[in-house]
Amino acid sequence: MEQEVWFALGLTLIAGLATGLGSLIAFFTSTTNTKFLSWALGFSAGVMIYVSFVEIFSEAQDSLTSAIGEQTGSWLTLGGFFAGMLLVALIDKFVPNQGNPHEVKKVEEMNQSPQSARSKDPELMRMGSFTALAITIHNFPEGIATFTAALQEPTLGVAISIAVALHNIPEGITVSVPIYYATGSRKKALLYSFLSGLSEPLGAVVAFMFLMPFLNDILFGIVFAAVAGIMVFISLDGLIPAAKKYNREHSSIYGFVLGMAVMAFSLQLLF
């Protein structure tokens, strides 16, 4: 069991640190590959939505109905699913508007001279800090979702961590741009981006400390149902709209369909 826990924690760490990868991309490239980001966000959404409805929701329902009966278990599954959605919706509601983690930013903005914005440093720094805070808060439930899935089904956890990592890359750019433009420091932009991603493994640690001691079929079913709701909401509210903003062609929907197909074939071959 210890090995499975460390594996699940490792996956959440990799997924979380992908925000820093977004900053590194901004360091070493001069233009944004909008088609790739659009495709990657669409792919991530496709993986999350497919696996949520086909695998995670059904596993939650199976666990709950076997533990407490068909009717009660089905209702509790629905309750957990929409509770997960409500959790992310509340996070979105109470996170300040200046810190919208889904606002599209491009690498080109990192290459503009920050000198012209020096008189606005406090406001830009505030915007960047709020953005980092918003992404930190959003990553927390994603860490719980990735950890829980990886602990139950390692191959499923790998797929989810890849999907989460892909959508964390543009979030890293979103943190980096205002921080760099306010301070002129790429190192500081990189630091804020990496730190915002650490809430992902922090969510996994919290899940381990507070859920693992009480984990049974009922709690597992409720958590898994909530995980499905969290991932569906994130996909519909954040990933798909951001994918369309990065590229108005069909790359986002192609990525979305490919993500679903990859997940479908993976589940078919592995389970």
Annotated binding-site residues for Fe(2+) read 139, 142, 168, 171, 200
* Site of tokens 């951001």: 242
| Residue numbering of the annotated binding site for Zn(2+) | 142, 167, 171
Query: What is the rounded CA–CA span in Å between residue 261 and residue 50?
Result: 9
Residue 35 near residue 247 (C-beta atoms within 8 A) = yes
Residues marked as binding?
139, 142, 167-168, 171, 200
- Residue 205's H or E segment, with its range, is helix 199-210
Nearest residue to 79 via CA among 232, 238, 235, 229: 229
Record the tokens describing residue 150, joined without a space. 């990886």
The token pair at 107 is 């690498």
Between CA 116 and CA 182 the distance in angstroms is 10
**Residue 15 CB-density burial (10 A; 0-12 exposed, 13-18 middle, 19+ buried):** buried
Between helices 34-51 and 251-270, what is the axis angle to 10°? 40
